A = this chain, B = another copy of it.
Amino acid sequence: MTDIFYENIYYLGPDGSNAQNAMFRFLEICNIKVKNKIPQKTIKSSLDSLINDNNSVCILPIENSIEGIVRETIDNLLKIKDDEIKIRGELSIPIKHLLLSKSNDINTINKIISHPQALAQCSNYLYKNFKNAEIKEVSSTSYAAQKVSNENDKTIAAIANETSAKIFKLNILSSDINDEKDNQTRFYILGRQELNKTIKRKTSIIFSTKNESGALCEVLKIFSKHNINLTYIDSRPSKKKLGEYLFFIEMDGFEIDEKINIALNEIKTYVDFMKVLGSFSIYK
């Protein structure tokens, strides 16, 4: 693999976020050097920064194994008008929740703060161990850890990851407290340039079907006929009318593979809009 140099990489901050962890892993795996690692507050601002920048990449969450697809990512990818910006890679990282506090005694805790998704993903643990504790939602897991670190209160704990424990110097009162043990988040890496290629690749498309009953089925039949394995299918509202949808599909293979090329041509009969979001490498 050759080294690649970029000016900036944009990711969802703040320090200690899962997106920051994914970013470090991506830079390492792909032998990428960047001048600046720039945290962003939203998915939209991450993409906007990339659009206004010529030699950069951004990394965005696309799917969590418990919560499902990240709708904000799909909805914003759809709005990109710059055809050079494509999905160039994907990477999954395990999500492990820990209970963090300034206290080193779990029995002192009567208030727990975290992001709503993290709280939801630990709800059995919380129900069993903290039935009477006050539970409070905050904007991110890393912000929860920061808040616990800033307050001189040994009754409060945050649910956050190991990086946050290190950054904010908190004690780990309990590890791996997710209700479902296989909790992973998958990220897309977006940019103008191709990245190092892996053998296994995927292609993501989004389309709307012509207003005919069964049009989606016709599209799926075409992929089936060419033995193309669909790895994900989801619908998003058109945002125009209740009952009108766009479909997001991921498939194994590259856009320029013969069978995918043929299939994408054949489905044109049944779709009235189609966009290839990218054909990309899968990093492990």
Chain B residues within 8 Å of A213, by CB: 227, 229-230
Contact of A233 among B64, B71, B235 (CB under 8 A): B235
Which A residues fall within an 8 A CB radius of B?
Answer: 63-68, 71, 92, 137, 139, 180, 182, 184, 186, 213-214, 216-218, 220-221, 223-224, 227, 229-237, 239-243, 245
Question: What would be 11 A-B contacts, judged by CB atoms less than 8 Å apart?
Answer: A65-B237, A65-B240, A66-B239, A182-B242, A186-B242, A213-B229, A214-B229, A216-B230, A217-B217, A217-B220, A232-B235
Known contacts A92-B242, A217-B220; decide if A67 and B237 are in contact (CB<8 Å).
yes
Contact of A241 among B63, B65, B227, B236 (CB under 8 A): B65
Q: Pick the 3 closest A-B CB pairs, nearest first.
A: A65-B242, A217-B224, A217-B220
Contact of A220 among B67, B184, B220, B241 (CB under 8 A): B220
Contact of A231 among B137, B232, B233, B243 (CB under 8 A): B243
Chain B's nearest CB lies how many Å from the CB of A58? 20
* A182 and B236 contacting across the interface, CB-CB below 8 Å: no
Chain B residues within 8 Å of A65, by CB: 237, 239-242
* B241 and A68 contacting across the interface, CB-CB below 8 Å: no
- Interface residues of A: mostly helix, strand, loop or mixed? mixed
Contact of A234 among B139, B229, B235 (CB under 8 A): B235
* A68 and B236 contacting across the interface, CB-CB below 8 Å: yes
Chain B residues within 8 Å of A214, by CB: 224, 229
Closest to A231 in B: B243
A243 to B182, CA, bound (A): 11
Known: A65-B240, A217-B224. 6 other contacts (CB 8 A): A92-B242, A137-B139, A182-B240, A213-B229, A214-B229, A216-B230
Contact of A68 among B71, B92, B218, B233 (CB under 8 A): B71
A239 to B67, CA, bound (A): 8
A281 to B245, CA, bound (A): 22
Most buried by B among A63, A218, A243: A243
Chain B residues within 8 Å of A137, by CB: 139
Chain B residues within 8 Å of A230, by CB: 213, 216-217
Known contacts A92-B242, A216-B220, A217-B223; decide if A237 and B68 are in contact (CB<8 Å).
yes
Chain B's nearest CB lies how many Å from the CB of A220? 4
Chain B residues within 8 Å of A92, by CB: 242
Closest to A241 in B: B182
